[in-house]
Amino acid sequence: MNASASSISHGHAGDASHGDHGDHGHGHITLQYQPGLPLSRGKLIMWLFLSTEIMFFAALLGSYVVLRFGAPVWPKPHHVHLSEPIGAFNTFVLICSSVTIVLALEAARVNKAGLAKNWMLLTLLLGGLFLGIKGYEYSAKFSHGIYPSAPRSRIYERPDLYYGSAVRGRLEELRREPKDAWQAMKYKWAVAWHRSPQAASLHGWKEPETVDRLKELDEMPEAALTAEQLDSRRKLQQIQKMVSSPDQQAFDMAVVADQVMPLPSEGAAGAAGSGHGGGHGSHGLNDAFPWLRLPTVIPGGNMWASTYFLLTGFHAVHVAVGLLVFAIMLTWKLNAKRAGAIENAGLYWHFVDLVWIFLFPLLYLF
Protein backbone atom coordinates (compact mmCIF):
# COMPACT_ATOMS: atom_id res chain seq x y z
CA MET A 1 0.00 0.00 0.00
CA ASN A 2 3.00 2.28 0.13
CA ALA A 3 2.69 2.71 -3.59
CA SER A 4 -0.83 4.08 -3.39
CA ALA A 5 0.16 6.56 -0.70
CA SER A 6 3.00 7.89 -2.76
CA SER A 7 0.86 8.29 -5.85
CA ILE A 8 -1.71 10.51 -4.13
CA SER A 9 0.03 13.73 -5.04
CA HIS A 10 0.36 12.56 -8.62
CA GLY A 11 -3.30 11.82 -8.83
CA HIS A 12 -4.12 15.28 -7.53
CA ALA A 13 -1.82 17.02 -9.93
CA GLY A 14 -3.36 15.14 -12.83
CA ASP A 15 -6.86 16.05 -11.80
CA ALA A 16 -6.05 19.71 -11.30
CA SER A 17 -4.21 20.21 -14.54
CA HIS A 18 -6.48 18.63 -17.11
CA GLY A 19 -9.33 17.23 -15.09
CA ASP A 20 -10.43 14.70 -17.68
CA HIS A 21 -11.61 12.13 -15.12
CA GLY A 22 -14.93 13.81 -15.22
CA ASP A 23 -17.19 11.14 -13.78
CA HIS A 24 -15.50 10.95 -10.37
CA GLY A 25 -14.04 14.37 -10.23
CA HIS A 26 -16.00 15.52 -7.14
CA GLY A 27 -12.92 16.06 -5.04
CA HIS A 28 -12.06 12.34 -5.30
CA ILE A 29 -8.50 11.32 -5.60
CA THR A 30 -7.73 9.00 -8.47
CA LEU A 31 -5.18 6.43 -7.44
CA GLN A 32 -2.85 5.05 -10.00
CA TYR A 33 -0.70 2.09 -9.20
CA GLN A 34 2.55 1.85 -11.10
CA PRO A 35 4.21 -1.46 -10.36
CA GLY A 36 7.98 -1.11 -10.72
CA LEU A 37 8.57 -4.55 -12.16
CA PRO A 38 5.83 -6.92 -13.25
CA LEU A 39 6.52 -9.68 -10.76
CA SER A 40 5.53 -10.61 -7.25
CA ARG A 41 7.44 -9.11 -4.36
CA GLY A 42 8.90 -12.40 -3.23
CA LYS A 43 10.27 -13.16 -6.65
CA LEU A 44 11.59 -9.63 -7.10
CA ILE A 45 13.45 -9.86 -3.82
CA MET A 46 14.78 -13.30 -4.69
CA TRP A 47 16.11 -11.99 -8.00
CA LEU A 48 17.67 -8.96 -6.31
CA PHE A 49 19.28 -11.32 -3.82
CA LEU A 50 20.50 -13.53 -6.65
CA SER A 51 22.05 -10.57 -8.43
CA THR A 52 24.06 -9.84 -5.27
CA GLU A 53 24.97 -13.52 -5.17
CA ILE A 54 26.16 -13.32 -8.78
CA MET A 55 28.59 -10.60 -7.72
CA PHE A 56 29.61 -12.51 -4.60
CA PHE A 57 30.56 -15.64 -6.48
CA ALA A 58 31.98 -13.65 -9.38
CA ALA A 59 34.41 -12.09 -6.89
CA LEU A 60 35.35 -15.51 -5.50
CA LEU A 61 35.66 -17.20 -8.89
CA GLY A 62 37.39 -14.17 -10.39
CA SER A 63 39.94 -14.13 -7.57
CA TYR A 64 40.52 -17.83 -8.04
CA VAL A 65 41.13 -17.52 -11.76
CA VAL A 66 43.35 -14.47 -11.33
CA LEU A 67 45.35 -16.10 -8.50
CA ARG A 68 45.66 -19.33 -10.39
CA PHE A 69 46.99 -17.80 -13.58
CA GLY A 70 49.17 -15.31 -11.71
CA ALA A 71 50.84 -18.02 -9.63
CA PRO A 72 54.28 -19.26 -10.67
CA VAL A 73 53.25 -22.87 -10.00
CA TRP A 74 49.81 -24.33 -9.54
CA PRO A 75 49.32 -27.95 -8.49
CA LYS A 76 47.73 -30.36 -10.91
CA PRO A 77 44.45 -31.86 -9.66
CA HIS A 78 46.13 -35.21 -9.02
CA HIS A 79 48.90 -33.55 -7.01
CA VAL A 80 46.29 -32.55 -4.44
CA HIS A 81 44.35 -35.82 -4.51
CA LEU A 82 41.35 -34.47 -6.39
CA SER A 83 39.32 -37.16 -8.08
CA GLU A 84 37.79 -35.99 -11.34
CA PRO A 85 35.24 -38.84 -11.59
CA ILE A 86 33.93 -37.98 -8.10
CA GLY A 87 33.62 -34.31 -9.10
CA ALA A 88 31.79 -35.24 -12.29
CA PHE A 89 29.44 -37.48 -10.34
CA ASN A 90 28.71 -34.65 -7.94
CA THR A 91 27.90 -32.42 -10.92
CA PHE A 92 25.46 -35.06 -12.11
CA VAL A 93 23.85 -35.24 -8.65
CA LEU A 94 23.33 -31.48 -8.56
CA ILE A 95 21.89 -31.39 -12.10
CA CYS A 96 19.44 -34.13 -11.11
CA SER A 97 18.39 -32.14 -8.05
CA SER A 98 17.77 -29.11 -10.27
CA VAL A 99 15.42 -31.20 -12.39
CA THR A 100 13.57 -32.58 -9.38
CA ILE A 101 12.92 -29.13 -7.90
CA VAL A 102 11.59 -27.94 -11.26
CA LEU A 103 9.30 -30.97 -11.32
CA ALA A 104 8.17 -30.18 -7.76
CA LEU A 105 7.20 -26.70 -8.93
CA GLU A 106 5.32 -28.04 -11.94
CA ALA A 107 3.46 -30.50 -9.72
CA ALA A 108 2.55 -27.78 -7.22
CA ARG A 109 1.24 -25.54 -10.01
CA VAL A 110 -1.28 -28.15 -11.06
CA ASN A 111 -2.18 -28.66 -7.39
CA LYS A 112 -0.66 -32.12 -7.00
CA ALA A 113 0.61 -31.53 -3.46
CA GLY A 114 1.65 -35.13 -2.81
CA LEU A 115 3.68 -35.39 -5.99
CA ALA A 116 5.31 -32.02 -5.32
CA LYS A 117 6.30 -33.19 -1.86
CA ASN A 118 7.90 -36.33 -3.28
CA TRP A 119 9.94 -34.37 -5.78
CA MET A 120 11.03 -31.96 -3.10
CA LEU A 121 12.03 -34.82 -0.81
CA LEU A 122 14.10 -36.26 -3.65
CA THR A 123 15.75 -32.87 -4.11
CA LEU A 124 16.57 -32.80 -0.41
CA LEU A 125 18.10 -36.27 -0.60
CA LEU A 126 20.16 -35.41 -3.68
CA GLY A 127 21.43 -32.26 -2.00
CA GLY A 128 22.34 -34.34 1.03
CA LEU A 129 24.18 -36.80 -1.21
CA PHE A 130 26.12 -33.92 -2.73
CA LEU A 131 27.20 -32.71 0.71
CA GLY A 132 28.07 -36.27 1.74
CA ILE A 133 30.35 -36.72 -1.27
CA LYS A 134 31.87 -33.30 -0.61
CA GLY A 135 32.54 -34.33 3.00
CA TYR A 136 34.22 -37.52 1.79
CA GLU A 137 36.41 -35.46 -0.53
CA TYR A 138 37.31 -33.08 2.29
CA SER A 139 38.33 -35.98 4.50
CA ALA A 140 40.59 -37.29 1.72
CA LYS A 141 42.32 -33.89 1.67
CA PHE A 142 42.63 -33.77 5.45
CA SER A 143 44.14 -37.24 5.60
CA HIS A 144 46.90 -36.02 3.27
CA GLY A 145 47.63 -32.98 5.42
CA ILE A 146 45.91 -30.56 3.05
CA TYR A 147 44.19 -27.94 5.21
CA PRO A 148 43.50 -24.28 4.46
CA SER A 149 45.78 -22.89 7.15
CA ALA A 150 48.92 -23.33 9.15
CA PRO A 151 48.54 -25.25 12.38
CA ARG A 152 46.98 -28.25 10.68
CA SER A 153 48.22 -27.83 7.13
CA ARG A 154 51.35 -29.86 6.43
CA ILE A 155 51.97 -28.39 2.97
CA TYR A 156 55.43 -27.07 2.12
CA GLU A 157 56.03 -25.13 -1.07
CA ARG A 158 59.58 -26.26 -1.84
CA PRO A 159 61.74 -29.30 -1.05
CA ASP A 160 64.34 -27.11 0.65
CA LEU A 161 66.17 -27.16 3.98
CA TYR A 162 63.14 -25.71 5.76
CA TYR A 163 61.17 -28.70 4.64
CA GLY A 164 63.95 -31.00 5.77
CA SER A 165 63.97 -29.46 9.22
CA ALA A 166 60.18 -29.78 9.43
CA VAL A 167 60.46 -33.50 8.69
CA ARG A 168 63.22 -33.82 11.27
CA GLY A 169 61.11 -31.95 13.81
CA ARG A 170 58.17 -34.23 13.25
CA LEU A 171 60.30 -37.37 13.52
CA GLU A 172 61.81 -36.12 16.76
CA GLU A 173 58.35 -35.38 18.05
CA LEU A 174 57.40 -38.96 17.21
CA ARG A 175 60.48 -40.37 18.92
CA ARG A 176 59.95 -38.52 22.18
CA GLU A 177 59.80 -40.79 25.18
CA PRO A 178 56.54 -41.10 27.09
CA LYS A 179 56.88 -38.36 29.69
CA ASP A 180 54.62 -39.30 32.53
CA ALA A 181 52.55 -42.10 33.93
CA TRP A 182 49.66 -41.28 31.65
CA GLN A 183 51.86 -41.63 28.58
CA ALA A 184 53.36 -44.82 29.93
CA MET A 185 49.94 -46.25 30.46
CA LYS A 186 49.01 -45.34 26.90
CA TYR A 187 52.14 -47.06 25.68
CA LYS A 188 51.19 -50.19 27.54
CA TRP A 189 47.76 -50.16 25.98
CA ALA A 190 49.25 -49.51 22.59
CA VAL A 191 51.30 -52.67 22.83
CA ALA A 192 48.27 -54.55 24.07
CA TRP A 193 46.27 -53.23 21.14
CA HIS A 194 48.84 -54.37 18.66
CA ARG A 195 49.00 -57.92 20.04
CA SER A 196 45.25 -58.23 20.49
CA PRO A 197 42.96 -55.48 19.22
CA GLN A 198 39.98 -57.16 20.87
CA ALA A 199 41.59 -57.03 24.32
CA ALA A 200 42.42 -53.36 23.93
CA SER A 201 39.00 -52.42 22.57
CA LEU A 202 37.48 -53.94 25.69
CA HIS A 203 39.21 -51.22 27.62
CA GLY A 204 38.04 -48.52 25.24
CA TRP A 205 41.23 -48.08 23.22
CA LYS A 206 40.69 -47.79 19.52
CA GLU A 207 44.10 -46.88 18.21
CA PRO A 208 47.44 -46.49 19.96
CA GLU A 209 49.16 -43.15 20.00
CA THR A 210 51.58 -42.35 17.19
CA VAL A 211 54.45 -41.90 19.66
CA ASP A 212 54.20 -45.49 20.62
CA ARG A 213 53.62 -46.70 17.11
CA LEU A 214 56.93 -45.35 15.87
CA LYS A 215 58.79 -47.00 18.74
CA GLU A 216 56.93 -50.16 18.08
CA LEU A 217 57.57 -49.97 14.36
CA ASP A 218 61.33 -49.88 14.84
CA GLU A 219 61.27 -52.83 17.22
CA MET A 220 58.80 -54.93 15.28
CA PRO A 221 60.14 -58.21 13.83
CA GLU A 222 60.19 -58.39 10.06
CA ALA A 223 57.73 -61.27 10.01
CA ALA A 224 55.05 -59.04 11.55
CA LEU A 225 55.13 -56.56 8.64
CA THR A 226 53.80 -56.81 5.13
CA ALA A 227 56.22 -56.38 2.23
CA GLU A 228 54.99 -52.83 1.65
CA GLN A 229 55.31 -51.89 5.31
CA LEU A 230 58.78 -53.42 5.44
CA ASP A 231 59.82 -51.35 2.45
CA SER A 232 58.29 -48.24 4.01
CA ARG A 233 60.08 -48.86 7.29
CA ARG A 234 63.40 -49.09 5.47
CA LYS A 235 62.66 -45.82 3.68
CA LEU A 236 61.67 -44.16 6.93
CA GLN A 237 64.94 -45.20 8.55
CA GLN A 238 66.90 -43.86 5.57
CA ILE A 239 64.99 -40.60 5.70
CA GLN A 240 65.73 -40.28 9.39
CA LYS A 241 69.44 -40.53 8.56
CA MET A 242 69.11 -38.14 5.63
CA VAL A 243 67.35 -35.30 7.44
CA SER A 244 69.55 -35.58 10.53
CA SER A 245 72.72 -34.63 8.65
CA PRO A 246 72.91 -30.82 8.49
CA ASP A 247 74.41 -30.27 5.03
CA GLN A 248 71.75 -31.66 2.76
CA GLN A 249 71.33 -30.53 -0.83
CA ALA A 250 67.93 -29.45 -2.10
CA PHE A 251 67.76 -32.46 -4.37
CA ASP A 252 67.94 -34.84 -1.44
CA MET A 253 64.98 -33.09 0.11
CA ALA A 254 63.10 -33.73 -3.12
CA VAL A 255 63.84 -37.44 -2.55
CA VAL A 256 62.50 -37.15 1.00
CA ALA A 257 59.41 -35.33 -0.20
CA ASP A 258 58.84 -37.94 -2.86
CA GLN A 259 59.04 -40.76 -0.33
CA VAL A 260 56.64 -39.01 2.04
CA MET A 261 54.01 -38.17 -0.59
CA PRO A 262 54.93 -38.67 -4.25
CA LEU A 263 53.90 -36.06 -6.78
CA PRO A 264 52.56 -38.06 -9.72
CA SER A 265 54.09 -37.02 -13.03
CA GLU A 266 52.03 -35.73 -15.94
CA GLY A 267 52.50 -38.90 -17.99
CA ALA A 268 51.33 -41.17 -15.20
CA ALA A 269 48.15 -39.17 -14.67
CA GLY A 270 47.43 -39.20 -18.39
CA ALA A 271 46.76 -42.91 -18.21
CA ALA A 272 43.08 -42.38 -17.67
CA GLY A 273 41.51 -42.60 -14.29
CA SER A 274 44.35 -44.05 -12.21
CA GLY A 275 44.71 -40.71 -10.44
CA HIS A 276 47.82 -41.80 -8.55
CA GLY A 277 51.04 -43.32 -9.68
CA GLY A 278 54.52 -41.87 -9.83
CA GLY A 279 57.58 -43.55 -11.30
CA HIS A 280 57.73 -46.11 -8.49
CA GLY A 281 54.94 -47.46 -6.30
CA SER A 282 52.05 -45.07 -5.89
CA HIS A 283 52.20 -44.90 -2.09
CA GLY A 284 54.26 -42.68 0.08
CA LEU A 285 55.13 -43.08 3.73
CA ASN A 286 52.08 -41.06 4.70
CA ASP A 287 49.93 -43.61 2.88
CA ALA A 288 51.66 -46.66 4.37
CA PHE A 289 51.76 -45.21 7.90
CA PRO A 290 49.09 -42.47 8.08
CA TRP A 291 49.77 -41.86 11.76
CA LEU A 292 53.24 -40.51 10.87
CA ARG A 293 51.64 -37.28 9.58
CA LEU A 294 54.89 -36.10 8.00
CA PRO A 295 55.06 -32.72 6.23
CA THR A 296 54.56 -32.92 2.46
CA VAL A 297 55.72 -30.84 -0.49
CA ILE A 298 53.13 -29.56 -2.95
CA PRO A 299 54.47 -26.61 -4.98
CA GLY A 300 51.70 -23.99 -5.01
CA GLY A 301 49.69 -26.16 -2.64
CA ASN A 302 49.03 -23.55 0.05
CA MET A 303 47.33 -21.11 -2.29
CA TRP A 304 45.49 -24.00 -3.88
CA ALA A 305 44.18 -25.19 -0.52
CA SER A 306 43.06 -21.69 0.48
CA THR A 307 41.10 -21.15 -2.71
CA TYR A 308 39.73 -24.68 -2.88
CA PHE A 309 38.35 -24.68 0.64
CA LEU A 310 37.02 -21.14 0.36
CA LEU A 311 35.21 -21.76 -2.93
CA THR A 312 33.82 -25.19 -2.15
CA GLY A 313 33.14 -24.16 1.44
CA PHE A 314 30.99 -21.19 0.46
CA HIS A 315 29.25 -23.33 -2.11
CA ALA A 316 28.59 -26.04 0.48
CA VAL A 317 27.16 -23.44 2.88
CA HIS A 318 24.78 -22.36 0.11
CA VAL A 319 23.78 -25.97 -0.48
CA ALA A 320 23.17 -26.44 3.25
CA VAL A 321 20.96 -23.33 3.38
CA GLY A 322 18.99 -24.65 0.40
CA LEU A 323 18.50 -27.97 2.15
CA LEU A 324 17.25 -26.19 5.25
CA VAL A 325 14.69 -24.30 3.16
CA PHE A 326 13.52 -27.53 1.52
CA ALA A 327 13.26 -29.22 4.91
CA ILE A 328 11.03 -26.40 6.16
CA MET A 329 8.92 -26.49 2.99
CA LEU A 330 8.41 -30.23 3.35
CA THR A 331 6.30 -29.50 6.42
CA TRP A 332 3.89 -27.46 4.27
CA LYS A 333 1.09 -28.55 1.98
CA LEU A 334 2.68 -27.92 -1.40
CA ASN A 335 -0.37 -26.93 -3.43
CA ALA A 336 -0.83 -24.18 -6.03
CA LYS A 337 -0.93 -21.51 -3.30
CA ARG A 338 2.68 -22.36 -2.41
CA ALA A 339 3.88 -22.37 -6.02
CA GLY A 340 5.39 -18.89 -5.65
CA ALA A 341 7.45 -19.91 -2.63
CA ILE A 342 8.57 -23.12 -4.34
CA GLU A 343 9.57 -21.12 -7.38
CA ASN A 344 11.71 -18.79 -5.27
CA ALA A 345 13.38 -21.67 -3.46
CA GLY A 346 13.93 -23.28 -6.85
CA LEU A 347 15.53 -20.12 -8.25
CA TYR A 348 17.98 -20.15 -5.36
CA TRP A 349 18.70 -23.85 -5.86
CA HIS A 350 19.33 -23.42 -9.59
CA PHE A 351 21.74 -20.64 -8.77
CA VAL A 352 23.66 -22.99 -6.44
CA ASP A 353 23.75 -25.50 -9.30
CA LEU A 354 24.97 -22.75 -11.60
CA VAL A 355 27.90 -21.94 -9.34
CA TRP A 356 28.92 -25.59 -9.27
CA ILE A 357 28.75 -25.75 -13.06
CA PHE A 358 31.65 -23.29 -13.09
CA LEU A 359 33.41 -24.64 -10.01
CA PHE A 360 33.68 -28.18 -11.33
CA PRO A 361 35.81 -27.50 -14.43
CA LEU A 362 37.77 -24.70 -12.74
CA LEU A 363 38.78 -26.80 -9.75
CA TYR A 364 38.89 -30.33 -11.10
CA LEU A 365 39.85 -30.09 -14.74
CA PHE A 366 41.98 -26.97 -15.18
Partner 1 sequence: MSDHGTHSHGPVTRVGESADEALHHAIEESHGSHEEHAGHGGIGKYMLVFLALCGLTTMSFFTYSAAWPWRDQPQVGWAFMMAVSCTKAMLVILFFMHVWWEANWKYVLTIPAAMMAIFLAIMLIPDIGMRNRMVSQERALYMARGSDVQLLERASKESPLAEPAGH
**Interface of this chain with partner 1, residues 210 to 239, rule: CB under 8 A:** 231, 234-235, 238-239
147 versus 187: smaller Cβ distance to partner 1: 147
Residue 72 near partner 1 by CB under 8 A: yes
Q: Is 158 one of the binding residues for partner 1 (CB under 8 A)?
A: yes
* CA separation for the pair 146, 139 (Å, rounded): 9
Instruction: Bin 319: left if φ > 0, else alpha if -120 < ψ < 50, else beta.
Output: alpha
Q: Note the Cα 156 to chain centre separation in Å.
A: 21
Q: To 5 degrees, how large is the angle CA 295–CA 261–CA 135? A: 85
Residues 6+ apart with CB under 8 A from 363: 77, 82, 87, 308, 311, 312
Does 47 help bind partner 1 (rule: CB under 8 A)? yes
How far apart are CB 125 and partner 1 at their closest, in Å?
Answer: 17
DSSP 8-class letter at 73: -
Q: Which is nearer to partner 1, 60 or 192 (CB)?
A: 60
* Identity of the residue, 163 or 193, whose beta carbon is nearer to partner 1 in the bound complex: 163
Closest distance to partner 1 from the beta carbon of 75 (Å): 9
In the region spanning residues 9 to 28, those forming contacts with partner 1, defined by CB under 8 A, are 21, 24
Q: Which stretch binds partner 1 (CB under 8 A): 94-102, 124-132, 217-225, 321-329?
A: 94-102
Q: Which of 81, 98, 126, 144 binds partner 1 (CB under 8 A)?
A: 98
Nearer Cβ to partner 1, position 183 or 335? 335
> What string marks each residue from 172 to 211 as x (binds partner 1 by CB under 8 A) or -?
----------------------------------------
Q: What CA–CA distance (Å, rounded) separates 56 from 354?
A: 13
Residues 104-123 that bind partner 1 (CB under 8 A): 106, 109
Give the ranges where 155-196 is alpha helix by DSSP (H): 161-175, 181-195
| The residue type at 8 | I
Considering the complex, state which of residue 196 and residue 237 has its C-beta at the smaller distance from partner 1: 237
Per CB under 8 A, the list member of 127, 145, 159, 208 interacting with partner 1 is 159
Question: Footprint of partner 1 on residues 238-297 (CB under 8 A)?
Answer: 238-239, 250-251, 254-255, 257-259, 262-266, 270-273, 278-280, 297
Tell me if residue 155 falls in helix, strand or coil.
strand
Q: Write the CA distances from 112 to 96, 137, 228, 327, 332, integer angstroms.
A: 21, 38, 60, 19, 13
The residues, any chain, with a CB within 8 Å of residue 91's CB and separated by 6 or more, are 356, 357, 360
Q: Between residues 46 and 174, which has the closer beta carbon with respect to partner 1?
A: 46
Determine, following the binding rule CB under 8 A, whether residue 366 of this chain makes contact with partner 1. yes
State the Cα–Cα distance between residues 293 and 289, nearest whole angstrom. 8
